[in-house]
């Protein structure tokens, strides 16, 4: 092995990942943890992970980057957020439909300018990486140049992202409306240009049912000719929105049925929010194995409601779920802060969310929801080497709180430290982000 050691890179620290779902397995069986671990990479992929003394003896001539005292985790996966809403994050005083009209639509218009779209896309992806997010499912605008800008920026950073052109053909300002046929033709071109380019994947993206005509939704469903495309949209976020659906689609039995009628409910569908779902809708999502993006920060910010995570997990089979920041209704790019809000949402319903469950939803759980668990989500050999370095004591308060467990010696100490990270942590907690084994460094000036 030492003969090939020049092709390897290695990282030492406390290493944790998930091998099973802690919602359905004992947590002790779900978490893999090495208090003094070694992560070995070869050409951007995981070669081995394990106990430092054991692996060090097998690879005696490795050059090791030492992060002792720090925690090495798989890169975070954000299941739903909006690149164009970056500029208007933290905009005051409205609920969903009014908020879209007042704040969101005007800034989306600016993405018609390719230079502006490129500048904001670069900022947006750097903000994700600064917060430890290495994979994301992202909405753009109706303008093809906004899709080109985002994918170009992601390709430069070697990121794995899923994105697509926003489909909107009604109930929006004239400057944000396409004809269904125009949107269909532009989407076809973008799929050919970007889907499976390096690590990039395409999602057919109706904004939500009210802003698409039946013709446009039918055309969106016709992309099923590409079996590995994603479908990404919103579902049951707001009570007024659901009432509007009944007016616009009176023939539909419920909100989900609108998407079902056009072939948009599949195992590769990602529905953001899903707060106000009936028992029937939950069961049908379970049968189709469509994913839900749990967006606690934005659900609280817009007063949309409390997502019942437990209801998704008692279905047979369980509905795939991942955490999502939903910037700009979400108030932070940090999935750590999002985990903290998810915990509070569960508490408000008299339910629990353990730290292991929260981190699972941001790593392997999200990867499974995207059918990417063969590529990302944990440190199994052969997977892509996206990972982050967590500093458990970046602030005086966190240093005080975690002083007796750096590094955690066992799972009991680990779960306590993870809880402090999701309640007190933010971008300062992310010491380093690695993409395909390469340290990310922003090219943009602060």
> pLDDT (tens digit, 9 = 90+) per residue, 85-115?
999 999 997 888 898 999 999 999 999 999 9
pLDDT for the residue numbered 445: 41
- Residue 242 C-alpha from the chain's centroid: 25
Q: Give 392-445 pLDDT, tens digit per residue.
A: 999 999 999 999 888 999 999 999 999 999 999 999 999 999 999 999 997 654
Q: Give 188-219 pLDDT, tens digit per residue.
A: 999 999 999 999 999 999 999 999 999 999 99
- For residue 5, pLDDT over 80 is answered with no
Q: How many angstroms separate the CA atoms of 153 and 120, rounded?
A: 10
pLDDT for the residue numbered 2: 44
Among 4-8, 217-221, 297-301, 441-445, the minimum mean pLDDT is found in 441-445
Query: Is 10 within 8 Å of 40 (Cβ atoms)?
Result: yes
Q: Which domains does the chain have, with CATH numbers?
A: 8-75+378-442 (2.30.40.10), 76-370 (3.20.20.140)
Helices of type H across 199-334: 214-221, 239-248, 255-261, 279-288, 296-301, 309-313
- Hey, which residues does 41 pair with through a beta bridge? 9, 46
Q: β-strand 166-167 against 201-206: which pairing, if any?
A: parallel
The CA-based diameter of the chain, rounded to the nearest angstrom, is 69
Q: Give 313-346 pLDDT, tens digit per residue.
A: 999 999 999 999 999 999 999 999 999 999 999 9
Confidence of residue 376 (pLDDT cuts 50, 70, 90): very high
pLDDT for the residue numbered 61: 87
- For residue 60, pLDDT over 90 is answered with no
Q: What is the pTM of this model?
A: 0.96
Query: Is 219 within 8 Å of 180 (Cβ atoms)?
Result: yes
Confidence of residue 226 (pLDDT cuts 50, 70, 90): confident
Q: E-assigned strands of 337-437?
A: 387-390, 430-435
């Amino acid at each position: 092995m030492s003969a090939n050691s020049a092709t390897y890179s290695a990282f030492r620290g406390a290493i944790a990942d998930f091998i099973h779902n802690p919602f359905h397995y004992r947590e002790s069986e779900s978490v893999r943890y090495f208090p003094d671990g070694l992560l070995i990479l070869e050409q951007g992929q995981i070669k081995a992970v394990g106990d430092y003394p054991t692996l060090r003896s097998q690879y005696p001539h490795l050059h090791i980057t030492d992060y002792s005292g720090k925690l090495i985790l798989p890169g975070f996966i954000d299941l739903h957020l909006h690149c164009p809403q970056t500029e208007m994050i933290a905009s005051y005083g409205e609920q969903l439909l009014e908020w879209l009209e007042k704040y969101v639509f005007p800034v989306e218009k600016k993405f018609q300018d390719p230079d502006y779209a490129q500048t904001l896309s670069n900022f947006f992806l750097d903000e994700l990486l600064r917060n430890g997010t290495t994979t994301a499912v992202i909405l753009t605008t109706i303008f093809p140049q906004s899709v080109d800008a985002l994918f170009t920026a992601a390709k430069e950073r070697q990121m794995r992202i899923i994105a697509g052109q926003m489909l909107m053909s009604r109930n929006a300002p004239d400057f944000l409306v396409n004809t269904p046929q125009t949107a269909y033709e532009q989407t076809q071109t973008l799929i050919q240009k970007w889907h499976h380019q390096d690590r990039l994947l395409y999602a057919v993206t109706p904004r939500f049912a009210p802003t698409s005509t039946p013709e446009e939704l039918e055309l969106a469903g016709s992309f099923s000719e590409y079996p590995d495309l994603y479908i990404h949209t919103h579902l049951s976020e707001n009570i007024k929105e659901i009432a509007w659906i009944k007016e616009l689609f009176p023939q539909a039995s419920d909100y989900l049925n609108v998407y079902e009628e056009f072939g948009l409910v599949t195992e590769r569908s990602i529905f953001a929010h899903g707060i106000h779902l009936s028992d029937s809708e939950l069961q049908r999502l379970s049968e189709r194995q469509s994913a839900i993006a749990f967006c606690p920060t934005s659900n609280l910010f817009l007063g949309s409601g409390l997502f019942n995570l437990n209801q998704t997990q008692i279905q047979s089979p369980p509905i795939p779920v991942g955490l999502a920041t939903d910037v700009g209704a979400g108030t932070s790019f940090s999935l750590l802060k999002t985990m903290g809000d998810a915990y509070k949402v569960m508490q408000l319903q008299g339910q629990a969310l353990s730290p292991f469950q929260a981190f699972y939803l941001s790593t392997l759980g999200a990867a499974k929801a995207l059918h990417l668990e063969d590529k990302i989500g944990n440190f199994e050999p052969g997977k892509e080497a996206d990972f982050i370095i967590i500093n458990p004591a970046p602030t005086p308060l966190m240093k005080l709180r975690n002083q007796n467990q750096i590094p955690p010696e066992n799972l009991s100490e680990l779960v306590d430290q993870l809880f402090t990270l999701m309640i007190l942590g933010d971008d300062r907690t992310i010491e380093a982000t690695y993409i395909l084994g390469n340290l990310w460094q922003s090219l943009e000036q602060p």
